[in-house]
Amino acid sequence: MDIRSHVSMVFHLDKCIGCHTCSIACKNIWTDRKGTEYMWWNNVETKPGTGYPTLWEDQEKYKGGWEKKNGDLKLKLHSRLKGLGNIFYNPFLPTLDDYYEPWTYDYENLFNAPEGDDQPTARAISMVTGKPMDNIEAGPNWDDDLGGSPIYARNDVNLDGLTDDEREQLNELERVVFFYLPRICNHCLNPGCVAACPAGAIYKRGEDGIVLIAQDKCRAWRMCISGCPYKKTYYNWASGKSEKCILCYPRLESGQPPACFHSCVGRIRYLGVLLYDADQIEKCASVPDEELVAAQRNMIQDPFDPEVIKSAKANGISDATIASAQNSPVYKFVKKWGLALPLHPDFRTLPMLYYVPPMLPVLAKTKDGNYDVSDAESENLPALLSSLERARMPIKYMASMFSAGNVKVVEDVYRKLIAVRIFKRAQTVKDYQQAEVDAALEAGNTTADEVESIFRLTALPTYEERFVVPPLAREVAVEAWEKPLDRKREAGFGVRNKIAKRKF
């Protein structure tokens, strides 16, 4: 057992309202610079949809993540030799058009336009060429709220597993549905970007697992961009370095949650420490698809177990961090309750950002002014929130996103979420019989107490309950290699020591 700590995250998709406040908070702090115009370290996608960059989930195009070849775990991108052959011509990069051409508006014109018959307009100006854009074709969230759109939504890779009938049904007017998927870097345990980097510039911080790109080591090979299956590393054309979400580590080090977490309007984001067994990483990333979620849960260890605590201490994890892990909302969602699932575990990078899948509205009709859900009733559970079998979004779609196709895993999560709703509804609206509540609890494999805790952490969590930031003690750790007061003067993103020009 080799216990390490990881600052991990849960996004509760049921609570996401798609307002993009997180994206803006991140943009304003980190990517408001030359060369980063097109980057969104945090972005919110509408699902079904092809996301940003277009079709990022399609690894036949981008070759991100890992695959099992003859029983071995291999980078999907290339072998070492092939990587060397392609080093100047990495063929699996998204083009700028696959992200989008970033633009701003000519606001000046609103004030300075000469008098005329028409109102002046602010034309779109490309931030790449500086010239007016007549036709804006794509954006980082182009298909916003268009769940049934004929091009982007229909090409969603996760729909591939559905039958033609199921796909057709998704486009029926009454069934059209979408949900939001906010994405940041997953800070994976088995990161594809780190493995793909020929310069060895990407590393995972030991104390908290944050994956970072050393700006003075990056040599702009851009293999990380292909290697990351989530397309969460970006190339800065101005500095000639790649950049990615840094989980706002300067904020974490001063005890604050990252900006996107802090600013989240729907309070969907939770942050806390997970203790995991590093010995299991390779084994866990190599199991068959349907076991991936279980293996990843299994790797996360109980922070109350004396054996785990002993091993953690042997690895230099402080008491304060262990206490933080015991308090972690992420541990509860992921391991204790088993509600949060990794996004695309089939990429085998072991992402440490988990999602509670959304409860989508059931199919219902308005009949004589009443909201009629009688169609939704299934055999063994009451109507309204119960009809998993008749959910608008097929479970297979969710399974494709969150459990590498294992429908059972997603169903278990939904049964428990349904149990919570029925239990609370019986308490407050009182239109369910006790027998029905008990049946829901049993189907959800949960208890009244657990349901109550899930409800509290989902609906009524305080700031301190959502964000349990461990004391990273960076101010002490840094003394080991440099004088803290020297470091204090430096601030901001970029290269701390000026890099000498390359000599050829």
Partner 1 sequence: MTKGERPSTIWFVPLLVFALVTTVTGVTFAQPLGQASDGEALFKEKCVACHTIGGGKLVGPDLAGVTDNRSNEWLTQWLLAPDQVLASGDPIATELFNTYNKVPMPNLGLTPDQVNTLLSYLGSGATIGGSVLPTGNAVTGKAFFVGDKRFENGGPQCMSCHSIAGIGSLGGGNLGPDLTANGFTKYGDGLAAFLSSPPTVTMNAVWKNTPLTPQEQADLFAFMKNASVSGREPGALLQIALLAIVGAAALIALAQVYWGKRLKGVRRPMIERTLAASTKK
Report the distance separating Cα 39 and Cα 140, nearest Å.
9
Asked if the bond preceding 48 is cis, omega within 30° of 0, the reply is: yes
State the DSSP code for 213.
E
**Amino acid identity at 455:** F
Q: Which C-beta is closer to partner 1: that of 21 or that of 86?
A: 86
Say whether residue 97 binds partner 1 (CB under 8 A).
yes
Say whether residue 134 binds partner 1 (CB under 8 A).
no
Report the distance separating Cα 454 and Cα 422, nearest Å.
13
Shortest Å, Cβ 290 to partner 1: 29
Angle of helix 448-459 versus helix 407-428 axis, rounded to 10: 90
Shortest Å, Cβ 96 to partner 1: 9
Burial 79-97 (b: 16+ CB within 10 A, else e): eeeebeebeeebebbbeee
Q: Which C-beta is closer to partner 1: that of 61 or that of 487?
A: 61
Q: Which C-beta is closer to partner 1: that of 155 or that of 315?
A: 155
Shortest Å, Cβ 95 to partner 1: 4
Shortest Å, Cβ 231 to partner 1: 11
Shortest Å, Cβ 150 to partner 1: 7
Report the distance separating Cα 404 and Cα 124, nearest Å.
41
Say whether residue 98 binds partner 1 (CB under 8 A).
yes
| Span of 150-158, 178-186, 264-272, 429-437 interacting with partner 1 by CB under 8 A | 150-158
Q: Which C-beta is closer to partner 1: that of 121 or that of 163?
A: 163
| Span of 147-155, 210-218, 353-361, 437-445 interacting with partner 1 by CB under 8 A | 147-155
Both tokens of 305, joined, read 């177990």
Q: Which C-beta is closer to partner 1: that of 101 or that of 207?
A: 101
Which residues in the 261-290 window bind partner 1 by CB under 8 A? Answer: none
Report the distance separating Cα 42 and Cα 182, nearest Å.
7
What's the CA angle centered on 491, arms 191 and 466, to 5 degrees? 55
**Amino acid identity at 112:** N
Q: Which C-beta is closer to partner 1: that of 4 or that of 231?
A: 231
**Nearest in space to 338 (alpha carbons), one of 420, 268, 259:** 420
What's the CA angle centered on 377, arms 455 and 17, to 5 degrees? 40
Total binding residues toward partner 1, as defined by CB under 8 A: 21
Interface residue with partner 1, options 21, 126, 155, 318 (CB under 8 A): 155
| Residue 243 CB-density burial (10 A; 0-12 exposed, 13-18 middle, 19+ buried) | buried
Contact 128, 37 (CB under 8 A): yes
Q: Which C-beta is closer to partner 1: that of 95 or that of 380?
A: 95
Q: Which C-beta is closer to partner 1: that of 85 or that of 200?
A: 85
Say whether residue 168 binds partner 1 (CB under 8 A).
no
**Nearest in space to 233 (alpha carbons), one of 68, 67, 64, 347:** 64
Shortest Å, Cβ 53 to partner 1: 7
The helix/strand count (H/E) of the chain reads as 22, 17
Say whether residue 154 binds partner 1 (CB under 8 A).
yes
Binding mask 109-128 for partner 1 (x = CB under 8 A): --------------------
DSSP SS3 for 400: helix
Which residues in the 37-96 window bind partner 1 by CB under 8 A? Answer: 50, 53-55, 58, 61, 86, 89-95
Which residues in the 204-233 window bind partner 1 by CB under 8 A? Answer: none
Q: Which C-beta is closer to partner 1: that of 91 or that of 130?
A: 91
Contact 258, 210 (CB under 8 A): no
In the complex, which residues of this chain contact partner 1 (CB under 8 A)? 50, 53-55, 58, 61, 86, 89-95, 97-98, 138, 150-151, 154-155
